[in-house]
Amino acid sequence: MTAPTVKLSSGYEMPLVGFGLWKVNNDTCADQVYEAIKAGYRLFDGACDYGNEVEAGQGVARAIKDGLVKREELFIVSKLWNSFHDGDRVEPICRKQLADWGVDYFDLYIVHFPISLKYVDPSVRYPPSWTNEAGELELGNATIQETWTAMESLVDLKLARSIGVSNFSAQLLMDLLRYARVRPSTLQIEHHPYLTQTRLVDFAQKEGIAVTAYSSFGPLSFMELNLKDAQNTPPLFEHDVIKGLAQKYSRTPAQVLLRWATQRKIAVIPKSNNPTRLAQNLQVTDFDLEGSELEAISALDKGLRFNDPIAYGLPIPIF
């Protein structure tokens, strides 16, 4: 099966369920993308920071060559890293990323974080990092308006069909909307029952900005990063509320969590290298939770954020 879509402000349709490429190993990435396409996935969420765009593109190319899919049937997402926020750096890095993917345009290109870092040439370090070649964090001088104006030029040049942002607050969205010639089509945020961000989601959706959730399974994505909060937080898969609903609907806990989001028109980008779970994660729009059940899941909110620069020892309190 393939996922239903949500219409973006740009006029394009974005699948409600996609495959996230964060932490997908280089040696398995091409095969995982190929198998995901075979399973019915059409949206692939990448970033230059993930360091696997070449391999992801290889998986796409093989699937197209084998006749599994046409390019226009795919929705390929990538992101602008912090060290390329200067206006004259945006187009060159986007073109490099397109070349890595082996495609002519991105369906969606996103500002990864609302923060500018000093430019580091890709020939010096790539994939990029939070720090420079000396291992130091150096802030850049680009404003969000400068960066967004350059992002808009990507649409004019047909290098990106839609543009969006990630990890932005409501206040930053309000500011961006004041001067945006091309409105952001999407907002990608950490979103799970332990971090519902209800006010931010409501504001974005009211403004016609589609919301995409990352880390839909909460602490699970961060266990291997040795984050204390992740290790000390009860797994969502084992929570009584989630387990009870999974049993009621004969679904997996993962499917319940993904349906909680998609039923509220929030797109999701889970990943799995297990063929069974891969298929299950895509089958999350063919049943409905009751309103009281959606509320019960949302009531698990702890305001607990895992993907925070501060947690990685970086003095950037952007949240």
Task: Enumerate the known binding-site residues for substrate.
Answer: 112
Q: Tell me how far apart the alpha carbons of residues 128 and 100 are, in angstroms, rounded to a whole number.
A: 14
Whether 81 and 47 have beta carbons less than 8 Å apart is answered as: yes
Whether 10 and 161 have beta carbons less than 8 Å apart is answered as: yes
Q: Tell me how far apart the alpha carbons of residues 202 and 97 are, in angstroms, rounded to a whole number.
A: 32
Whether 210 and 224 have beta carbons less than 8 Å apart is answered as: no
- The annotated binding site is made up of 112
214 is annotated as an active-site residue: no
Unique residue bearing structure tokens 């291997």:
224
Whether 1 and 38 have beta carbons less than 8 Å apart is answered as: no
14, 88, 125, 223 from 48: Cα distances, Å: 21, 18, 12, 23
Active-site pick, 12, 34, 41, 50: 50
> What's the first-to-final CA gap in the chain, in angstroms?
37
Per-residue tokens: 174: 């309000």
Q: Tell me how far apart the alpha carbons of residues 268 and 285 are, in angstroms, rounded to a whole number.
A: 11
DSSP character at residue 43: E
Active-site positions read: 50
